[in-house]
Structure 1
Amino acid sequence: MNTQIDQSKNKGNFFTNLKFPSAYTILFILIALVALLTWVIPAGQYDRTMNEELGREVPVAGTYQVVESAPQGIVDVFYAPIQGFYAAIDVAFFILIIGGFIGLVTKTGAIDAGIERITRRLEGREEMMIPILMALFAAGGTIYGMAEESLPFYALLVPVMMRARFDPLVAAATILLGAGIGVLGSTINPFATVIAANASGIPFTDGIMLRLVMLFLGYVICVWYVMRYARLVRTDPKNSIVHDKYEENKAHFLGNRSEEELEFTTTRKIILAIFGCAFAVMIYGVSAAGWWMLEISAMFLAATVLVGFVDRMSEEDFTNNFLEGARDLLGVALIIGIARGIVVVMDNGMITDTILNSAEQMVTGLSSVVFVNVIFFLEIILSFLVPSTSGLAVLTMPIMAPLADFAGVGRELVITAYQSASGLVNLITPTSAVVMGGLAIARIPYIKWIKWVMPLIGILTFFCIVLLSLGTVI
């Protein structure tokens, strides 16, 4: 009798116990869906010519032609994550190095001791960290397109926000929305604005005033949205969308040590200084010296060795602590490779140019206001398929920008539509390693992030439409 009741309860709870699939499953499903599209969408290709300024080939408008189809099968679906990992190995390895670096520094107690000093000094004013930090991340986004470089900050900022009685989402939103709104309102970003301008044949400074307005107003909107949520969480922790994981997150990010204050020793101060300098050098290297994953990975590896030397760690402790930290971010590295696999399937199936050609046909002959908004929404769709801002610029601007001349719209407005669409989508797209990797580090389920951020996405979309429409008449 009791057994039957228990079985009945279990059956009744089947659907309520179902959970949204993990990031790995979502991305693998997307790979399979894109592979199916290669059987439906005709294969096609543009002629390409070398752009000397960009140092890469770009498509030539009006040269699209249908080519022999290359449908992707089951074997290709399983190849895609591996090929994607090959393509993203530099970013994935960077993540592992960062994990080892942060894990080693954390073991020294320097981060915990520093966090205690920060939270004590900001007591009663902790929420002011949000606009200040978001301004810094937005500056990184608008100046040099801060993206993968933001990933290390999640592991650093989540414990700070949790000690300030916020939650991991506040930390993740501060970073992701901060850098994201900077990219959306890119001004001199070489990976978006400059590449797009070069591909369009105009100076990258054209249209900069509209982008500055977009950057400032977008920043204000995002700060308001995050601070509003942060106050709700601080008033009542049950308002957190990840409240069900509170104890688990507390143990993971803050550890189980006692509440006794950590001594802020000279050694810990030096280690924290090395920690901060490493990130400052990374930002300088990327923005001013042309560094990318090889250089910054090597720099963090050198900083890791220096930290171990300052802390007088034994070789065994150094190795174990580094591997433990890298192990914590191994899942993030795998997510990055799988996400890149989606683009691999599209390119191998030769449907990327076909989708682009369809976009070209849709915008021909439209009025200026309609034209720029159709461009904006087309770039939104294409951004889901090509999350790389530089990749999307090289792919679409040589074709979309010349069409602006026939619609009576400045080419700089097409660039603004492209970068605002790309910046918007890269706040939510599961094909972005930055989105999926950052959320994985902060331990925020993707579906919960989507539910929380979608009202903001709606506001920002309307805001972009208004500014782009005004741009056609100003």
Structure 2
Amino acid sequence: MSETTTAPATRRGFKLPSAYTILFALIVLMALATWVVPAGVYELDKNGSPIPGTYHGVDSHPARILVDSLTAPINGLYGIEDDAGTISYYNSGSLFGAIDVALFIIVIGGFLGVTMRTGAIQNGIGRLVQRLRGRERWMIPILMTVFALGGTTYGMAEESLAFYSLIVAVMIAAGYDAMTGAAVVLLGCGIGTFGSTINPFATGIASGFAGVSISDGLVLRVVMLVVALVVGIFFVLRYADRVKADPSRSIVADLRAENEQYFSAGAGGTDAELTGRHQLILIVFALAFGVMMYGVIPWEDLNVPLPTLWWWFPEMTASFILFTVVIGLIGGLSEEDLTGSFVDGARDLLGVALIIGIARGITVVMNNGQITDTVLNWAEQALGDVGQSGFAIVMFLLFLPLSFLIPSSSGLATVAMPIMAPLALFVDVPPELVVTAFQSASGIMNLFIPTSAVVMGGLAIARVPYGTYLRWVWPLLASLVVLSVVGLGVTALVT
């Protein structure tokens, strides 16, 4: 592949602000809202959950616009509220604010940084590509499954950008096109994130702020993941077969000659060697997520004869620190390399941790102004008696535009769950169903929204125009929407 690229021309016009700006603007907006929105509270049951029909007004407690807006993200991280605020069901699963979640995210970043530094993941995928050369059609379902596993377990996204050049080059050399190669990576990771099972950045954070275990709702998420992956693989395979049979049917046929020349240097693949050490690292890497799952599942409540550890974010964070050290030692990293790659990985996710603090600040302002229950009451009245299935579907549809406004899944979970999860209790819908509605909507939107750095970066590397990709992928997106609506609706009925 050529190492020189032409920088894209700078485009002028409206550009959606970053998640930081949007969330901070929402803090200021909520601070202003405390001056005009009536204050009120629900009575709480013994578990700290709101009792439907008990909402009543209280004296207003308006925010200090400048001071409270600036301190809200800090207070959001530490869980500090003034005398008017209450730490109740809004903070369930994260009683002391978002600092435990933010630290967990930072440590996960360090864990991924050390694992990537050993080369195990890169060489594992590179070796798989080598072994499948000459059988590239099998490469499509196998690689999409591998990338989906990365998406569903740890939200593989930016890390996938390193594989586009290799996969696209191999696919073009095999008689396919750049769109096929890009789809294998982009849709593989994206479908995995759509069906996040134990993804700490989506399911984990949302579950924490909803006050449920990450294992709650796991069966539905696994089913949605498997069905979506099968549909996605069929979608890509059908297109790839059509292109190989008739290259003129490629949606990037006009760029075919140029792309063949551009990616020709990378068609030979990589000299990746998957050593025994790398294989052991990949086993330990998978074990880290398995241990996390075991630690958070309440085996005792499920009447399963296994010891219940009752883990949550502090314990999960400590576990990943341990596995980071183990992987570093197995990988033969020096002390300097281990700590350096951990810090570099943590730095990559520092922005996510900051987003969580800012997003949590919105809840703090609303709680201190005692308008959270008022918004909750308005939502209760607006939904009326939509029923359990209707509620689950409405939640999903509501999360679609919210995911466009706040493309950060961590930020959106932090903002929305303190309100949406208690609302679900009013119609006897399990909070974990709201978590699934959130993550599926966010996963679908992040497969195509132009504010996603992964979508735009991956397509740029693959040299596939964004508009072309959008016209090609919309039937799959529509299928995922239908799958989500049916899955959520049916599950709400039988729960």
Give the TM bin, normalised by the shorter chain.
0.5 to 0.7
Seq. identity, %: 35
Q: Whole-Å Cα distance in 2 between the matches of residues 114 and 472 of structure 1?
A: 40
Alignment match, 2:20: 24
Alignment match, 1:387: 413
Does the CA-based 8 Å contact 1:180-1:423 persist in structure 2? no
Query: What is the DSSP-based 3-state SS (H/G/I as helix, E as strand, rest coil) of the residue aligned with 1:40?
Result: coil
**Which of 148, 161, 166 lines up with 1:163 in the alignment?**
166
Q: Whole-Å Cα distance in 2 between the matches of residues 39 and 357 of structure 1?
A: 18
Query: What is the DSSP-based 3-state SS (H/G/I as helix, E as strand, rest coil) of the residue aligned with 1:179?
Result: coil
Does the CA-based 8 Å contact 1:195-1:394 persist in structure 2? no
1:305 aligns with 2:325: yes
Alignment match, 2:5: none
What CA deviation, in whole Å up to 9, does each residue of 1:385-441 have, x standing for no partner?
A: 98369755751244333xxxxxxxxxx6x98985664455444799xxxx99x9678
Alignment match, 2:378: 358
The 5 Å alignment of 1:36-51 reads 36-51=32-47
Normalising by structure 1, what TM-score?
0.63
Q: Residue 34 and residue 130 in structure 1: after superposition, are their counterparts in 2 closer, same or farther (change >3 A)?
A: farther
- Paired amino acid for 2:30: V
1:80 aligns with 2:49: no
Q: Whole-Å Cα distance in 2 between the matches of residues 76 and 350 of structure 1?
A: 14
1:89 aligns with 2:92: no
- Paired amino acid for 2:413: P
Q: Residue 331 and residue 108 in structure 1: after superposition, are their counterparts in 2 closer, same or farther (change >3 A)?
A: same
Q: Whole-Å Cα distance in 2 between the matches of residues 416 and 300 of structure 1?
A: 24
Does the CA-based 8 Å contact 2:130-2:270 persist in structure 1? no
1:177 aligns with 2:194: yes
The 5 Å alignment of 1:131-146 reads 132=145
What CA deviation, in whole Å up to 9, does each residue of 1:81-119 have, x standing for no partner?
A: 222333222222222222222222323333332221122
Q: Residue 89 and residue 22 in structure 1: after superposition, are their counterparts in 2 closer, same or farther (change >3 A)?
A: same
Normalising by structure 2, what TM-score?
0.61
Q: Whole-Å Cα distance in 2 between the matches of residues 336 and 163 of structure 1?
A: 34
Q: Residue 120 and residue 472 in structure 1: after superposition, are their counterparts in 2 closer, same or farther (change >3 A)?
A: closer
After alignment, is 330-339 or 356-365 more displaced? 356-365
Does the CA-based 8 Å contact 1:376-1:417 persist in structure 2? no
Aligned residues: 397
After alignment, is 76-85 or 60-69 more displaced? 76-85
- Paired amino acid for 2:423: T
Tell me the CA shift for residue 47 of structure 1: 0.8
Alignment match, 2:154: 150
Tell me the CA shift for residue 444 of structure 1: 6.0
The 5 Å alignment of 1:55-70 reads 57-70=48-61
What CA deviation, in whole Å up to 9, does each residue of 1:176-221 have, x standing for no partner?
A: 21228999xx9xx99899969xxxxxxx99xx99999978766666
Does the CA-based 8 Å contact 1:376-1:418 persist in structure 2? no
Query: What is the DSSP-based 3-state SS (H/G/I as helix, E as strand, rest coil) of the residue aligned with 2:53?
Result: coil
Q: Residue 429 and residue 307 in structure 1: after superposition, are their counterparts in 2 closer, same or farther (change >3 A)?
A: same
Q: Whole-Å Cα distance in 2 between the matches of residues 328 and 19 of structure 1?
A: 23
Does the CA-based 8 Å contact 2:157-2:189 persist in structure 1? yes
Alignment match, 1:265: 275
Alignment match, 2:139: 126
**Which of 394, 400, 405 lines up with 2:427 in the alignment?**
400
**Which of 99, 113, 117 lines up with 2:109 in the alignment?**
99
Tell me the CA shift for residue 49 of structure 1: 1.4
What CA deviation, in whole Å up to 9, does each residue of 1:225-253 have, x standing for no partner?
A: 787899999999997xxxxxx9xxx9xxx
Q: Residue 274 and residue 29 in structure 1: after superposition, are their counterparts in 2 closer, same or farther (change >3 A)?
A: same
